[in-house]
A and B are shown apart, each in its own frame.
Chain A
Amino acid sequence: MIEKIVTVKHRAGIHARPAALIVKTANQFASDFFIEKDTMRINGKSIMGIITLGASYKTDLKIVLEGDDEQEAADAIEQLFVNRFEE
């Protein structure tokens, strides 16, 4: 299992487009993917779940991956946050 803290680095926060991008990326991997914020824990492969997190600018999120390709998945998702979702 891999746990990583990522920060939302773009001003708009995680709205529909970034959420869709996260789901699209996560679905390329077989690993289970969860995102945690405060006490909320949602399935990272669902768009509505990610939007429900209400992750605004500078929010810290914990990404949790578990499965055979967890390392690749974690790297790919972290990269999205680092690249500010290509915005």
Chain B
Amino acid sequence: MKDFTVLDLLDLDLKEKGVLGLTCIGGRPGLSRVITTSKVNRPGLTLSGFFEEFSHNSIQLFGKGEQAYLRKLENSNTYETIERMFSFPIPTCIFCENSSPSEKFIHIAESSGCPILKTSLGSGEFALRLYQTLDDIFSPKQTIHGVLVEVFGVGILITGDSGVGKSETALELIERSHRLISDDTVKLSCVNGTFLVGTGENEFLAHHMEIRGLGIINVANLFGVRAIRDKKRVQLFVQLEEWDSNKSYDRVGGDLSTDILGVSIPKLEIPVKPGRNIPIIIETAAMNVRLKKLGYSSGNEFNQNVLKWLESESARDLYYNNEDTF
């Protein structure tokens, strides 16, 4: 991952249309400082002079309480703890509720090279948004060769070797009113360690596809906005492979799964051979995923029915004294 600097945090605010409401009020040269952790610290204890376990790598957030304490320190002209705090390489200090610290505070920060930001939001709301933003940035990521589509609301990652027909399958799915998130390279990030969200690697190139014989096509222009989506949670992993007559494929609906970034995703292996309609199989798989979510598993249900039937058959045999009367 590229270093994430304080300037990137400010830039992010421009892209996300001011979600964090940040502006820089001092220490501009320090904007190149790198943020290395998604943790956020409230430096109340630090200001009072307690420096054990001081989490100086994290962003320091000054809410109303910290600001009031700071004013108290400044009124009594005690700057030692503030100076000591800035002797640590703090990435940045953020002041909430649109309030700014004193000139002296900014001066100490600037001489240590630490940028000072402020936001119009209250500390509670701001911390919530900041955590969400940082979580997005610091979540584990992986780029995968495949196509991510949304079928009936289910995010499906189609993978397989080059030329097996991933893009063609996706094209047929788009034609059937499903949506494309990304073709060819899919950037997956693990959110909260519990689920995967996939996007295109690059927003300029997203929603383009390369179809052999056609070249590169723009899906958004050809099929309209209904055919595209920016990001989607990955709920099913589909592996397309050349039909191998020696390999045994799932015939009753087993429970294959694959592990990506520590998240287990249900997996299907679909053999490809001329005449097999892969998009229809994937559509059905998507519906099956939704059914399973509702607590209904076609494979299990079928097996239960078979068991019930066998049981009733054997009960009948018992009743008729093992004689087949039909």
Q: Do A and B bind each other?
A: yes
Task: Count A interface residues, CB 8 Å.
Answer: 16
The total of Cβ contacts below 8 Å across the A-B interface reads: 42
- Name which of B1, B141, B184, B202 has the most chain A CB atoms within 10 A of its CB: B184
- Name which of A41, A52, A54 has the most chain B CB atoms within 10 A of its CB: A52
Interface residues as binary, B122-154 with A (CB distance below 8 Å gives 1, 0 otherwise): 000000000000000000010101000000000
Report A16 CB to chain B, min CB distance, Å.
7
Question: Beyond A40-B201, A42-B143, A43-B162, is A49–B2 a contact (Cβ under 8 Å)?
Answer: no
Report B-chain residues with C-beta under 8 Å of the C-beta of A46: 145, 162, 184-185, 210
Report A-chain residues with C-beta under 8 Å of the C-beta of B1: 39
Report B-chain residues with C-beta under 8 Å of the C-beta of A39: 1-2, 141
Query: Complex: how many Å from CA A49 to CA B143?
Result: 10
Report B-chain residues with C-beta under 8 Å of the C-beta of A54: 202
Interface residues as binary, A43-76 with B (CB distance below 8 Å gives 1, 0 otherwise): 1011111011010000000000000000000000
Within 8 Å of chain B (Cβ to Cβ): is A86?
no
Query: Complex: how many Å from CA A74 to CA B205?
Result: 27
Within 8 Å of chain B (Cβ to Cβ): is A38?
yes
Report B-chain residues with C-beta under 8 Å of the C-beta of A49: 145, 184-185
A-B contact pairs, 28 of them (CB 8 A): A16-B216, A38-B2, A39-B1, A39-B2, A40-B143, A40-B201, A41-B143, A42-B143, A42-B145, A43-B162, A45-B162, A46-B145, A46-B184, A46-B185, A46-B210, A48-B183, A48-B184, A48-B185, A48-B205, A48-B208, A48-B209, A48-B210, A48-B216, A49-B145, A49-B185, A52-B184, A52-B201, A52-B205
Q: A49-B184, A54-B202 are in contact. List 17 more A-B contacts (CB 8 A).
A: A16-B216, A27-B162, A38-B2, A39-B2, A40-B201, A42-B145, A43-B145, A43-B184, A46-B145, A46-B162, A47-B216, A48-B183, A48-B184, A48-B185, A48-B216, A51-B205, A52-B185
